[in-house]
Structure 1
Amino acid sequence: MLLRRASSTRRLAVLLILFVCLGPARAEIAATLRVAVDKPDRVIGARLYGAHLEHMFNSVGGGLWGELLQNRKMMPTEGRGNGAPAPWFAFGDEQGSVRLEAPKQAPTPNDMARSLRLEAPEGSRAGVAQGNLAARPGDAVRLSLWARGEGKTLLTVSLGDANDSVSAPLDVPAGGWRRVVTRLAMPRRAKEARLTLTVTGPGVVFVYAPSLMTEAAYGADGFEPAVLAQARALAPQWLRYPGGNFAQNYRWRDGVGPRDERPVRPNVWGGLPEPNDMGTDEFLALCRRLRTEPVLVVNVGGRGASPEEAAAWVAYCNDPAQKSEMGRLRAAAGQREPYRVRLWEIGNEVFGSWTEGSSDAPTYARNFDAYVRAMRAVDPTIRVMAVGQTPEWNRQVLKSAQVQPDLLSLHLFVSQSTPADVLTQPVAYETFLRGVGAGGPRLAVTEWNLNMKEANQTWLAGMWAASLLSVFQRVPYVAAAGVNGLVNGWEGGVIQRDGTRLFATPVHTVLQLYRRHTGARGLPVTVRGGSIPAVVSEEVGAAYPTIDVVASRDAGGPIFVCVVNKSQSESALLSFLLDGYKADHAAANLWVLAAAPAARNTWESPERVQPARGRVVVARGRFAARFPPFSVTWITVPPN
């Protein structure tokens, strides 16, 4: 969500709960903690707050990308009506007809795309329509399509529904294909945005690759502005693309060149066909807009992918325009200067049978060597990540590979059923990360999240995220981490979009606030008095402390303290001693977010779970506060 200043009433309530009522309380945790503010003991990873973007389950199409039409390149599917592929439907008089045809001389190299043949005899009509489009009343939209006619034919485009609609005739050339563009405004009284293409007889019209976008999306490089605003608020430090499992099916050449000329492919991970409208250039334009570092995942052996293909992708991104064929191809697409993509991941989850190109560890190590050598022959400055998994897989890969990776990629998910089990898992992962990271390359947790359907969108997921982000701060081997995913996708997307409806999940807020409250160096935190109880999870086989505190700072900068109270029933009265803090008096700012485990934002109430702000007085390096049950609090103490 976009963080806003809390109302004065709510802020006062938080102040009363946290900082005034410091007297005895029922069922309360009490402890004193020491933070050595002048003795940092570790370097915190500089890229802990990244994100993952994948062509999967409306993450790109229907999510971040602004195209309003589905299956716009008419790949054959189980259709509705007499010849239109889903989700299009055909209509017209009995004499009219609609059918799919291979688009003769159409602007596409792909035999999976089709054009629509709309034929209407004298006095009849035929057409196709697609409804439930994500256009709002008053939106200015732009329609483009390729068309050709047989003889003089009238093709009419309309937008809206039976309540209110607008129409415009399109000039269809006879003979050869021509791209036609028209602009419309979504009617204000229409209850549904439906695009309709109608031929009035006599005549035949062929239509290929219609595209409908709002003018606002056109002005944002093709991205949906409301989703883009939430992505900007998240401000990921890096963005990983195109997957995920999709990466092992992806051929990067499908996603470059003029969008209407790109091939359409089946998407086994996304349901509807993949038009490849968002590819390399669009992704890197997104990274520029978000001011984030791109991470590209190359296909290792899936669908015939090869080291040479990966090397050509490096050349497309990084070669000067005059140096190579790929550099010239990029320049022809409008990007003369190299993108200079530095971080590349060699495959995704190739240890799994669900992945195209899967293999055992020694085979992957050989593939890793071949890919990296081919890619670094193009650009020796790139940094590479290898696929990691279990300690044994990692041992075999690192032992067998002749080229050592700069980073080892790991994925951390949890599918436990209760809050106690979920919140125990970060403790187990901390042990795992310390064991894997010792003596090897630094770690990049390139995918993490719950894997619990709609629970991914609850405050329980926010608490899990906070607990895991604290682990990443404590483990010095973790250089980077990224949430799966940015938009929709598996149910864990931190931005949820359904048509014109949108909300950000609690994990989105947790990521924003952790990023704002993380310094470059970690500070030691020790318990000096009282006790912090632990909760045991029999399912996980471990226990977690109910209070989790991490602290950090930049050199000479403010001190950041993050407190996670994992108890569902007990508040925590904590006293802090900032050892080495010399100011006599200071006011520390804070954000606090507390909610029930099942609390969540919804389409109807997109800001139900949000933080409030407050202050606490720091006197001679000491302060005390009460932290609500099941809460995360972020504290900023000004520098000495």
Structure 2
Amino acid sequence: MASINVDFSVGQGAISSRLYGAGLEHVGASVYGGFWTGPARPGDESRSAPPVHIGWREDVLTLARALRPGILRWPGGPFSQSYRWRDGVGPRGDRPLRFDHYWAKPEPNHVGTDEFLDLCRWIDAEPAITVNTRSARPEEAAAWVEYCNGSMLTSAGALRLANGQPNPWNARLWSVGSNNWDMGAPEAARRHNLFARAMRGVDPGIELTAIGGNPSNQSEWDKVVIGQTAEQFRHLGVWAFDGVASVEGDNPEDLFHAHVASAERILWTISNAAYRLDEMMLNGGAYVGVDGWGIWKQSRQGLQHDYDMSDALIAATVLHGLHRLAPRVGYAAWGNLVNALGLIQATERACWATPVYHIMKMFRDLHGTEATRCTVAGPAVAAPGGNSPVRSSRPPYKGMALIDASASRDVARGRYTLSVVNRSFSDRHDVEIDVKGLPTGIGATSHLLRAESPFAANSAKEPRAIEPFVFPIGQIPREYPFPAHSVTVLIWEETPGLT
């Protein structure tokens, strides 16, 4: 039998809301079509088109506002390295049409800096902006910082005023380049330093992210970048995507376990970056910034859509790991907010929340601001290796724990939280739970996310097939049942209903 021991009186590091972020890259229908449709046009009502708010679809906007992503990273990864920010400011009718060669699509520039920052304000997300270090110059990036954060008496600030925004946006998070591994670590570090000096010359208070390695080059890349740019960044960026689409023999249980073991490989990449920072920056002051993470296991226009319950288990397990790494990880962004690699899926006339969206929302809403002591003991399974059409074969993982958990507290709100993932394909697990450090006499409420099949997903026809089920349980029993392939969040509140 598995057991979980929690001590809410022992804090183990602050949990930042920045861990619950997402990307907003101009890829597929993640921005145009899926989220941004432009201002309402005559005749939209007759086409049953979703209403819009200043160009953003209201149905998607409603889900995004409910989610409240901790950060929203824009204009993306590869796309950002050909993006010129001046193309996306001023009257939309005057903005140039460009062609995005990386994703092979036209870029109308209708969503630019002001539209993005206005969206962040609407959905309560902190903006994180990526500058182009591949084809732009440091002076251009510095002017972008000035446009966002400078006084209207500055040159770029005056341009912002002319575009209808007198007050600075005060964007604090800036990534210096993205995905530029082909240029080599020494050149990436050289460019980082040039851009960082120019950008900080405009606003010394911004937080900069340097390009970190990926799973294939991480060790050597990070040594070079940290060694040459240590005084010029706050975060070391990491990308960690995984996923298994098939296994030998096509056994559903083998496929399930091979796929959910992706969480361990994602966390391995993030932990490696934290280890390298600790090893090389003995004075501290720098953190891992997860620029993109998630599941990318099959193609539809090259990117994963239609996340299912097994993906939700991976997301919850990775978030548990980020809680344990909380003192070392500054932020994290799931691949995308909408459509391609997206938490929200949208067709022309419908949208729905994926199971991964529900995990993000549950953790954002229910977990506290400080991780607390939580240990787990229990059975493990040997997860087989598997394959994916978008990456190399995934290796086996011999000791994947079936029960994973994380605990946190928010003393100011009187809330204590324990989340538990059951990664078993078909078995319920009755788990012994020992909880210390709770105020006396308060009962618990359960928020349960589960599905009949671990491969079940929401869809346009069944948008709410999988969503959290909430019920009071009072004093939890010594042995608590966790359904197969499920995520349970137990909360204790001194003032029930306080949010």
Within 2, Cα distance between the matches of 1:367 and 1:251? Answer: 17
The alignment partner of 1:507 has SS state of: helix
Partner of 1:40: 11
**Distance between the aligned counterparts of 1:527 and 1:450, measured in 2?**
25
Per-residue deviation, 1:65? 0.6
Distance 1:565 1:455, change over 3 A: farther
Shift of 1:310: 0.4
Q: Is the 8 A contact 1:592 1:611 kept in 2?
A: yes
Q: Which structure shows the bigger proportion of residues in helix conformation? A: 2
Aligned counterpart, 1:267: 100
Indicate whether 1:54 and 2:25 are aligned.
yes
Does structure 1 retain, via aligned residues, the 8 Å contact 2:238–2:273? no
Report how far residue 434 of structure 1 moved: 2.9
CA offsets 1:406-436 (integer angstroms, 9 cap, x no match):
0111111003232212222322333443332
Tell me the equivalent position of 1:98. Answer: none
Partner of 2:232: 404
The equivalent position to 1:633 in structure 2, one of 473, 488, 499, is 488
Correspondent of 2:196 among 352, 367, 372: 372
Give the direction of change, closer, same or farther, for the CA distance of 1:186–1:433 in structure 2 (3 Å limit).
Answer: closer
Match of 2:78 in 1: 245
Q: Is the contact between residue 430 and residue 471 of structure 1 (CA under 8 Å) also seen in structure 2?
A: yes
Q: Which position in structure 2 is the counterpart of 1:330? A: 160
**Structure 2 residue aligned with 1:448, among 293, 296, 314?**
293
Q: Which residue does 1:63 correspond to in 2?
A: 34
Map of 2:252 onto structure 1: none
Q: TM-score, normalization: structure 2?
A: 0.87
For 2:158, give the aligned amino acid: R
Residue 499, structure 1, aligned to residue 344, structure 2 = no
CA distance in 2, matches of 1:635, 1:35: 12
Amino acid corresponding to residue 493 of structure 2 in structure 1: P
1:588 aligns with 2:444: yes
Following TM superposition, by how much is the alpha carbon of 1:527 offset from its aligned partner in structure 2, in angstroms?
A: 4.4
Residues 517, 562 of structure 1: 8 Å contact kept: no
- The runs of at least 4 aligned residues of structure 1 exceeding 6 Å deviation read none
Which residue of 2 is the match for residue 434 of structure 1? 271
* Contact 2:240 2:269 (C-alpha < 8 Å) held by counterparts: no
For structure 1, the 5+ residue unaligned runs are: 1-29, 69-140, 143-182, 194-212, 353-358
The percentage of aligned residue pairs carrying the same residue is 33
Give the superposition deviation at 1:579.
Answer: 1.8
Distance 1:455 1:370, change over 3 A: closer
Structure 1 match to 2:430: 573
Name the counterpart of 1:534.
Answer: 381
Question: 2:301 — aligned with what?
Answer: none
In structure 2, the partner of 1:283 is: 116
User: Matched residues in 2 for 1:379 and 1:428: separation?
Assistant: 37
- Report the 3-state secondary structure (helix = DSSP H, G, I; strand = E; otherwise coil) of the residue aligned with 1:362: helix
Q: Partners of 1:536 and 1:319 in 2: how far apart?
A: 52
Deviation at 1:346, TM superposition (A): 0.4
Quick check: 1:466–1:632 contact (8 Å CA) kept in 2? Answer: yes
- CA displacement 1:35-68 (0-9 Å, x = unmatched): 1111122333441101100111011110111238
Where structure 2 has 5 or more consecutive residues not aligned to the other structure, the ranges are 246-254, 299-303, 386-393
2:344 and 2:472 map into 1 onto residues whose CA distance is 29
3-state DSSP class of the match of 1:633? Answer: strand
Shift of 1:184: 4.5
Change (3 A) 1:456 1:395: farther
**Is the partner of 1:609 in helix, strand or coil?**
coil
Which range is displaced more, 448-457 or 326-335? 448-457
Matched, 1:256 2:256: no
Q: How has the CA–CA distance of structure 1 residues 580 and 502 changed in structure 2, closer, same or farther, with 3 Å as cutoff?
A: closer
Task: After superposition, give the CA deviation of every residue in 1:472-508 in whole Å (9 maximum; x if it has no partner).
Answer: 111131221111111112xx21111111121111111
Check 1:393–1:456 CA distance in 2 against 1; reply closer, same or farther (3 A cut). farther
Q: Who wins on radius of gyration, i.e. which is larger?
A: 1
The aligned counterpart of 2:336 is: 485
Is the Cα–Cα contact under 8 Å of residues 616 and 623 in structure 1 kept in the other structure? no
1:392 aligns with 2:220: yes
Q: How does 1:83-232 map to 2 (within 5 A)?
A: 141-142=40-41, 183-184=42-43, 186-187=45-46, 216-217=51-52, 220-232=53-65
1:534 Cα deviation from its structure 2 partner: 3.3
Aligned: 1:424 with 2:261? yes
Matched residue SS, 1:452: coil
Distance 2:287 2:105 in 1: 38
Q: Deviations over 1:197-220 (max 9, x none)?
A: xxxxxxxxxxxxxxxx98x42xx2
Amino acid at match of 1:532: P
1:604 to 461, 471, 476: 461
Deviation at 1:456, TM superposition (A): 4.8
Mapped pair 1:624 → 2:479: yes
Q: Name the CA shift for 1:527/1:232 in 2 (closer, same or farther; >3 Å).
A: closer
Q: Determine if contact 2:72/2:120 at 8 Å carries over to the other structure.
A: yes
TM-score w.r.t. length of structure 1: 0.68
Structure-2 separation of matches of 1:472 and 1:374: 32
Q: Which secondary structure state, in structure 1, belongs to the residue aligned with residue 310 of structure 2?
A: helix
Give RMSD over aligned pairs. 2.1
1:329-362 per-residue CA deviation (whole Å, 9 max, x = no partner) reads 110000011111111000111104xxxxxx1101
